[in-house]
Amino acid sequence: MSVNILAVGDVAGKCGLDILSRRLRTIQRLEKIRFTVVNGENAAGIGIMPQHVREILSAGADVITLGNHTWGRQEISDTLDDSPYVLRPANFAPQVPGRGLGVYETGFGEVAVINLIGRCGMDFGPESPFFEVDRLIKDSSAKIILVDFHAEATSEKLALANYLDGRVSAVWGTHTHVQTSDGRVLPRGTGYITDLGMTGPINSVIGIKTEISISMFLGNPPRRFEAAGGDGKIECAIFEIDEKTGRCLGVKTLRITD
């Protein structure tokens, strides 16, 4: 028997929250989804607020993962400590709030979800995601292990996925907000895609109002980033996982638009 796992790309602003709330359960029903992970680190534009956590979980997510904008809104700190359904990157410094690994009971056994952040091109120095994930999976009893790797460099994402091939069920990339066309099963049975894409405004620059992004690249005085509005999209991937072995049998990408 196999189960379908849904991974949803970074939710960006009110537009992303709105389309997720309206369309996620339909996707789950049509695609026979049994477990859903949503990256929500841009739900507030930059960062996420406690009310956004409630919205995303109410929309149908089982787990919310984050990334480099975890601390964009400090109001989230208590939620990170209190809720087992919100994960921040496990390779952040150990003194920060929250956790980077969650293990969840389902009708088909335990599912472990790991959130990691890359080191290439990031503005801070997290611990090595390679060493951290080794530590996290070493004693795991879960057959199905899912990894959200929030990273800038495609090479770092590919390297980590191949490093974990055969040891976890799926590795997907988040952060760049552009869905890649390389969803596949790696040689030892790990499902992979370099980036899920974005859940948010279609007419934007990775979720931000286009005029603000253009102005920045023209060298004008910086302005605070503002999330764009208008028609939305959900970009995501479905991983078909064998219940008994935890191996991935197939990967399918989706893009749902208003």
15's enclosing H/E stretch is helix 13-30
pLDDT at 123 over 80: no
Q: What is the pLDDT of residue 14?
A: 97
Q: What is the pLDDT of residue 122?
A: 79
Q: What is the pLDDT of residue 164?
A: 98
Q: Is residue 232 very low, low, confident or very high in pLDDT (cuts 50, 70, 90)?
A: very high
More confident residue, 132 or 124: 132
Quick check: 107 and 92 in contact, CB under 8 A? Answer: no
Choosing from 69, 150, 175, 177, the catalytic residue is 69
148's enclosing H/E stretch is strand 144-150
- Percent of the chain whose predicted confidence (pLDDT) is above 90: 94
Measured between alpha carbons, how far is 213 from 240 in angstroms, rounded to an integer? 37
Which CATH code, of 3.40.50.720, 3.60.21.10, 1.10.760.10, 3.40.50.150, is assigned to 2-257?
3.60.21.10
Q: Where are the domains of the chain?
A: 2-257
R_g of the chain, CA atoms, integer Å: 17
Mean pLDDT taken over the chain = 96
Mean pLDDT of the 21-45 span: 97
Mean pLDDT of the 152-160 span: 97
Q: What is the pLDDT of residue 115?
A: 98
Q: What is the pLDDT of residue 125?
A: 76
* 69 is an active site residue: yes
Question: pLDDT tens for residues 53-86?
Answer: 999 999 999 999 999 999 999 999 999 999 999 9
- 6 backbone dihedrals φ, ψ, rounded to 5°: -105, 130
pLDDT at 124 over 80: no
Q: Is residue 253 very low, low, confident or very high in pLDDT (cuts 50, 70, 90)?
A: very high
Reference 161, options 125, 118, 126; nearest CA is: 118
Q: Which residue has the tokens 């029903």?
A: 29
Q: Is residue 181 very low, low, confident or very high in pLDDT (cuts 50, 70, 90)?
A: very high
- 130 backbone dihedrals φ, ψ, rounded to 5°: -65, -50
Question: pLDDT tens for residues 182-230?
Answer: 999 999 999 999 999 999 999 999 998 999 999 999 999 988 888 899 9
Q: What is the pLDDT of residue 212?
A: 93
